[in-house]
Amino acid sequence: MATQSELTLADYTFPAARLRRRISTPARTPLVLIACGSFSPITFLHLRMFEMAADYARFNTQFEVVGAYLSCVGDAYKKTGLVKAEHRVNMCSLAVAQSSWISMDPWEALHAEYLETAKVLDHFNYEINEVLGGVETGEGRKKCHIALLAGADLIQTMSTPGVWAESDIDYILKNFGAFIVERTGTDIDEALSTLQPWKSNIWVIQQLVQNDISSTKVRLFLRRDMSIRYLVPEPVVQYIEEHELYDDDGAASTGSRSGKGKGAEGGQEAKPAGEAGSSGSGGG
């Protein structure tokens, strides 16, 4: 596999190998889940979100999940603790290497400029429904429903003035919708209070096993030379060691100190592990 550093947009092809091209229950609507985020680094919770959403969709909706994608923000996002996109893409690829249905799409991360989430979702819609023509049902082809998969802290930022354009919120929630995983520290009712006009397109998933892993905590552990084993997939642990990522807040990073409303997290400011700073506006 070409590493992201060798890849450019010019030789990019959409990763469709794990997308199921035929639905098993024709009456259902095919669903593709898109998790957008920093993934610096990817954790087991990020992977677990897909499994929770797939179970939720199977038992509570008329959707049938046919695929799922991780999409990392590019370097222009400039959030605290963001290592280069090249590394984040490689770590995500390693994390999903054994998955039969979750893929890593480097398209967003390959852009030098920041891409709003609406544009990223449009990209998936274009590749899956326009280029590939959706999926076969046995009774003809159906377009896939593309949905954002996110934690409650991300949806809460939609109520934070200045973070999202109103038009983008409307566009995303009207055309795609969102599967939202509850997150410790975020009041889901409060997070959804301003999003009532789109509530029929927002699906809230309870975490039946509370999992409060965050990339912030993983980075904090690494700076303190503590183990991150079993918080992130083993190949990701090895990749971080090999490339000496997150040893200090500046190494191999995009050079930012803070961004997108996230606080600084340099070693001196870091709280003890048990109180590790939130990973989102109100998130765990």
Ligand X SMILES: Nc1ncnc2c1ncn2[C@@H]1O[C@H](COP(=O)(O)OP(=O)(O)OP(=O)(O)O)[C@@H](O)[C@H]1O
Ligand Y SMILES: NC(=O)c1ccc[n+]([C@@H]2O[C@H](COP(=O)(O)O)[C@@H](O)[C@H]2O)c1
Neighbours of 132 (CB within 10 A): 15
Taking CB under 6 A as the criterion, the residue among 83, 87, 183, 245 binding ligand X is: 183
Which of ligand Y, ligand X, none lies near 156, with the C-beta cut-off 5 to 8 A by kind? Answer: none
DSSP string for 121-141: HHHHHIIIIIIS--EE-SSSE
As a whole number of angstroms, the distance between CA 26 and CA 217 comes to 43
Place of tokens 């889901």: 188
Report the Cα 142 to chain-centroid distance in Å: 25
**Residue 79 interacts with ligand Y (CB under 6 A): yes or no:** yes
If the CB atoms of residues 72 and 128 are measured against ligand X, the closer one turns out to be 72
Q: Is 270 helix (H, G, I), strand (E, B) or coil?
A: coil
Beta-carbon contacts of residue 196 (< 8 Å; ≥ 6 apart): none
Residue 248 Cβ vs ligand X, minimum distance, rounded to whole Å: 16
Tell me the C-alpha to C-alpha distance, in Å, between residue 189 and each of 180, 203, 206, 238.
Answer: 12, 12, 13, 39
Query: Counting every residue, how long is the chain?
Result: 284
Residue 269 Cβ vs ligand X, minimum distance, rounded to whole Å: 14
Which of ligand X, ligand Y, none lies near 81, with the C-beta cut-off 5 to 8 A by kind? Answer: ligand X
**Residue 168 interacts with ligand Y (CB under 6 A): yes or no:** yes
Residue 89 Cβ vs ligand Y, minimum distance, rounded to whole Å: 13
Residues that bind ligand Y (rule: CB under 6 A) add up to a total of 16
Which residue of the chain is nearest ligand X when measured via CB?
Answer: 151
Pick out residues in 17-76 that bind ligand X (CB under 6 A). 35, 37-40, 45-46
Residues that bind ligand Y (CB under 6 A): 36-38, 73, 79, 116-118, 154, 157, 163-165, 168, 260, 280
